[in-house]
A = this chain, B = another copy of it.
Amino acid sequence: MPSGFAQAELIAVLVAVTDNEPRVMTLRAGEALPSGPFETDHRSLQAGLRAWIESQTGHPVGYLEQLYTFADRDRDPRKHEEGGNPRPISIGYLGLVREQEAPGAGQPSWHSWYQYFPWEDHRDRRPDVLEAILADLDDWAKDGALRRQRIDYLFGLKGKPWNEDLTLQRYELLFESGLADWADKRENPELGRPMTGDHRRILATGITRLRSKIKYHPVVFELMPDSFTLLHLQRTVEALSGLRLHKPNFRRQVDQQKLIEETGEMSNGTGGRPAKLFRYRPAILEAQVLSNVRLSVSRH
């Protein structure tokens, strides 16, 4: 019986938020996530990936977390024909880096993740693409009441609330239903930009993980510059969650948790009244704070 030797590959979902857009680092004109072979001369997976990313991008990675290890035979249908290749094991990571300036020439590019998942951005309104998708799904839903229920639950229909954490599950449903093919060649703008292989699924995994993580762990600050205004912080959380939040409540919670402190300086107001600048509190307990950053949603 053939026993498991396989090539190990690391794949990174690198996220930054610039101009209130959540962006992900991509290669090949936005078609692929950065990835590379696992070099055996590093102490650990984590250390190896960190070094590799920093050499590739020049940006330090503030936060790095393992996402998932993929090794399904049918991960990438293109490989099916090629036969004898050992099945690759891919270890996905989620990394957070601070705001990026415009990338230099030849540099990797950062794309808003809503290019890949346009139906996930609910900041202004329920996105229009959703209607188109749901219309397409109606057909698929005819085959059973459970399908209908699942759609209603995942997309917040029939009075059920939209749950921003379910990005991966929604993507999986679209895939199951045949709407989103592995590498979708059709020009269906409502289905979002495709990626190579299963990279888009890995991105969805990263988004789902990050969206749920910000609710109970202060990782947002890994995406913020040294000092920022409360609105800037709120806009960043909104960008990630794809939701609009209630300003007074957001502020109340942020300072209840004592995670930030005033720098003493004011912002040179971009719009109205100048705002106090804050900094992340030199977190004595680091990752230890339980910080329940609940998101209080609200239109308007």
Contact = CB atoms under 8 A, between A and B. Distances in A.
Interface of A: 1-9, 37-45, 66, 68-69, 71-74, 86-87, 89, 91, 146, 149-150, 153-154, 163, 284-285, 288, 290
Contact of A44 (B2, B43, B72, B86): B72
Contact of A71 (B1, B45, B68, B71): B45
A4 B40 contact: yes
A41 B2 CA distance: 8
A296 to B, nearest CB: 16
Contacts of A41: 1-2
Q: What is the copy number of this chain in the assembly?
A: 2
Contacts of A44: 71-74
Given A89-B89, A149-B285, A288-B150, A3 B71 contact: no
B9 A39 contact: no
Contact of A3 (B39, B43, B45): B39
A150 B288 CA distance: 8
A231 B39 CA distance: 52
Nearest to A92: B69
B39 A4 contact: yes
